[in-house]
Chains A and B, each alone.
Chain A
Amino acid sequence: MEVELTDKKQDSVLDKKIVQRVAKLSSLAVKEDELATYAADIGGIINWMEQLNEVDITNVQPMVGTEIAQLRLREDVVTDGECKEDVLSNAPERIADFYAVPKVVE
């Protein structure tokens, strides 16, 4: 299989600002000095993905699921829950039977 590798240094589609925005959307703390590396890495991958633009996708339906099965439904019966201790068993911080997080201001 021929897979072309493009030179990512040439024209990275990503700059640090985009990485910063994406990091915020992903709730990931990324250090200033890592931004450029991520921009170059991801930019390179994105460039490489541009090869998909040469595929003719006219009238092609996107793949959904596996094309094999149909969605199954469950009956409306209570079969679960009532397992507070399991639910809270791994909580890093709890107050009484609640999970606790730093105060959120609406």
Chain B
Amino acid sequence: MLTGMKITEAADGLRQKKFSAEELTKAHLNAIDKLNARLNAYITVTADAAINQAKEADKKLASGDAPALTGIPLAIKDLFCTKGVKTTAASRILENFVPPYESTVTSNLLRDGAVFLGKVNLDEFAMGSGNLNSAFGAVENPWKRKGEDTFLVPGGSSGGSAAAVAAQMAMGATGTDTGGSIRQPAAYCGITGIKPTYGRCSRWGIIAYASSLDQAGPMGKSVEDCAIMLQSMAGFDPKDSTSVDKEVPDYRAACNRSLKGMKIGIPMEYRAPGLSPEIEAVWQQGINWLKDAGCEIVDVSLPHTKYGLATYYIIAPAEASSNLARYDGVRYGRRIAGDSLDELYANTRGAGFGDEVKRRILMGTYVLSAGYYDAYYLRAQKVRKLIYQDFMNVFDKVDVLLTPTAPTAAFAKGENQEDPVQMYLNDIFTVPASMAGVPGLAVPAGLSSQGLPLGLQLLGRPFGEETLFAVGSAMEKAANFTHKPTLLAGGSL
């Protein structure tokens, strides 16, 4: 099966002429045809353009001048603006928006020969942890609990990306991570994903949710696949004032580095009393694997990390309330008429945004409004600084932190939904690294008793992605996670 391969394998196969890029792309388009009606991972499939790109890739491969991702079919989160291709952010308000520009990250992937299969689903404006907040419908996780057909969520917000990769409807996908939106769905769908250091990938052309946290990253079938993709996606961009002018190292090479003498920190605050024994067991398993690989295990403390979530839910909505002000029905997007300009705004935004987006806009507006700025936003930014300092302190002692990625395995549609705070708790392990801007890699580590994937998270120093790839590869090897989801290209439906 062409769709069953990793990027590393496909790249070799293409160069050895075992199959063409066109065949590879068509195999994935077939998988989409077969699975998307059920999984709803793709919002837009660009089949014709993909085949054309694949044909171009074949020419390049034939000429011998083919960059790493030549002919590799990828799914693009519908938060990345793609030139001439509808970009919706999974929102009604952008349902007809066609950007006349290409985001820097997707431009980089195109430069390196990637084929884009289409735009994948997400929580509206990346706000959510279950991909239930999409104007174009929820995404179904291709994994099933043993003996059940319950609709499980793929995680969010990059749920479409995670589901597409897990179900082999794409070889890899772009995601964005604001509080865990790459790592948590990767864990729920049994794939690998990395949120790079803030500033590593350009934000230019990515629809903003929370500017000080948003970061693009790859989601793939292996650590090495993610390394290859990040190699292409990352890099300095003068168009993004927060992009950091730092050379992109050879991430793929880093995957084979030795771990001898490396120090792995285990943050005690992540051992919450409510942590499920299954997650706890996988975590301990991970510790043992790294010990076996020659690492030293060190207990560390991140005392302010428990405030990460509350801090996040002040800062992210505050920034979002301002970032989403541009969706007003004047220059692009959906417009709902009104007798006055004020009415037009209120109608357009009232009808164009979904409930969760509106809730976060209202919350963000509230915490920034007169009299509350100091009590909420300013205080949160100070606590954020303490969280950041916690990380910097432990990174004086250890190279990497090992934690679970999410507190549970994928949950079912309908669970966790009665209370927004309950839903927000899914991000509890991923948010602190977002607040500190440090990179985080999620790797599948095992299955729950119900047969659902469980993931472990590695957190590194700012711009310590190479170390994460090295440790992640070792863990991946030890875990030997070869399980496949129920709903799969070529699998039974």
Binding site for B on A (CB under 8 A): 1-3, 5, 8, 14, 18-19, 22-23, 25-30, 38, 41-42, 44-46, 48-49, 51-53, 55, 57, 60-69, 71-72, 74, 83, 86-87, 89-93, 99, 101-102, 104
Report if A63-B381 is in contact (Cβ < 8 Å); known contacts: A2-B273, A92-B329: yes
Q: How far, in whole Å, are A3 and B428 apart by their CA atoms in the complex?
A: 9
Across chains A and B, which 3 residue pairs bring their CB atoms closest together, nearest first?
Answer: A29-B350, A90-B332, A62-B381
| B428/A91 in contact, CB under 8 A | no
Q: With the chains together, A55 CA to B462 CA distance in Å?
A: 25
Instruction: Name A89's closest neighbour in chain B (CB-CB).
Output: B100
Q: Which residues of A contact B309 (CB under 8 A)?
A: 3
* B interface with A by C-beta (< 8 Å): 96-98, 100-101, 197-199, 212, 238, 241-245, 269-270, 272-273, 304-307, 309-311, 313-314, 321, 325, 328-335, 337-347, 349-351, 353, 358-359, 361-363, 365-367, 369, 376, 378-386, 388, 419-422, 424-425, 428-429, 435, 437, 462
Q: A62-B382, A90-B98 are in contact. Are A104 and B341 (CB under 8 A)?
A: yes
A72 / chain B contacts, CB cutoff of 8 Å:
238, 241, 245
- Please determine whether A42 and B362 come into contact, CB atoms closer than 8 angstroms: yes
Docked-complex contact A3 and B425, CB < 8 angstroms: yes
Using Cβ atoms and an 8 Å threshold, which residues of chain B touch A51? 307, 310
A-B contact count (CB 8 A): 186
13 contacts between A and B (CB under 8 A): A1-B270, A2-B273, A26-B349, A28-B346, A28-B350, A29-B349, A44-B421, A53-B379, A60-B386, A66-B462, A86-B101, A92-B332, A93-B335
Within 8 Å by CB of A68, from B321, B385, B437, lies: B437
A2-B272, A3-B425 given; A28·B362 CB < 8 A = yes
Q: Which residues of A contact B366 (CB under 8 A)?
A: 14, 18, 22, 42, 46
Label chain A's interface by main secondary structure: loop
Q: Are A49 and B310 in contact (CB under 8 A)?
A: yes
CB-CB under 8 A from B272, the residues of chain A are: 1-3
When the two chains form their complex, are residues B369 and A22 in contact, meaning their CB atoms are under 8 A apart?
Answer: yes
Given A45-B313, A66-B199, is A102 in contact with B244 using a C-beta cutoff of 8 Å?
A: no
Distance (whole angstroms) from the CB of B66 to the closest CB of chain A: 31
B425, A27: Cβ atoms under 8 Å? no
Tell me whether A26 and B361 are in contact in the complex, defined as CB-CB below 8 angstroms, given that A2-B272, A60-B386 are known contacts.
Answer: yes
The one of B96, B98, B338, B386 in contact with A102, judged by C-beta atoms closer than 8 angstroms, is: B338
Is the pair B339, A57 in contact by a Cβ cutoff of 8 Å?
no
- Chain A residues with Cβ below 8 Å from B419 are 5, 8, 44
A14, A61, A65 — which one has the most chain B CB atoms within 10 A of its CB? Answer: A65
Partner of A69, one of B96, B242, B381: B242
Bound-complex Cα distance A58 to B489 (A): 56
Instruction: Return A66 CB to nearest CB of chain B, in Å.
Output: 4
Q: Which residues of A contact B328 (CB under 8 A)?
A: 27
Whether A28 pairs with B97 at a CB distance below 8 angstroms is no
Contact residues in A for B307 (Cβ distance below 8 Å): 51-52, 55
List, in ascending order, chain B residues with CB within 8 A of A60's CB. Answer: 382-383, 385-386
Given contacts A3-B309, A46-B366, 9 further A-B contacts (CB under 8 A): A3-B306, A28-B349, A29-B346, A52-B383, A60-B386, A61-B385, A62-B384, A91-B330, A99-B330
